[in-house]
Amino acid sequence: GAVVSQHPSRVICKSGTSVKIECRSLDFQATTMFWYRQFPKKSLMLMATSNEGSKATYEQGVEKDKFLINHASLTLSTLTVTSAHPEDSSFYICSASVGANQPQHFGDGTRLSIL
């Protein structure tokens, strides 16, 4: 089945550091990928829709200059958390689907901890 790989799985870094997270579709091409964030004991919240070859679409309240998204190829989207602060500590998960009406498959997630 469709597999989505996310890397790294865990990041611990100092405040002010920028962190890049990669999301890859391993056996299919994904023109669209999604980035979610999940705080402890809360639901996944959509941050942005990553579109191959064009700008990402951000959800209300998500700062595009803070969370930079690049979708340079049909199998790779990256999320960069710029100048991360402790309040950015969260579980970040990407997803992609084979087609518009197909279920989405999730990456393993990245647990980000900012000290």
Partner 1 sequence: RKEVEQDPGPFNVPEGATVAFNCTYSNSASQSFFWYRQDCRKEPKLLMSVYSSGNEDGRFTAQLNRASQYISLLIRDSKLSDSATYLCVVRGTGRRALTFGSGTRLQVQP
In the complex, the residues that contact partner 1 under the rule CB under 8 A are 6, 32, 34, 36, 42-46, 49, 91, 93, 95, 97, 100-101, 103-109, 111
At residue 87, φ and ψ (nearest 5 deg) are: -70, -10
Least Å from the CB of residue 86 to partner 1: 19
Nearer to partner 1, 8 or 103 (CB): 103
Least Å from the CB of residue 8 to partner 1: 14
Burial class, 14, CB count within 10 angstroms (exposed 0-12 / middle 13-18 / buried 19+): exposed
109 is written with which tokens? Answer: 């997630």
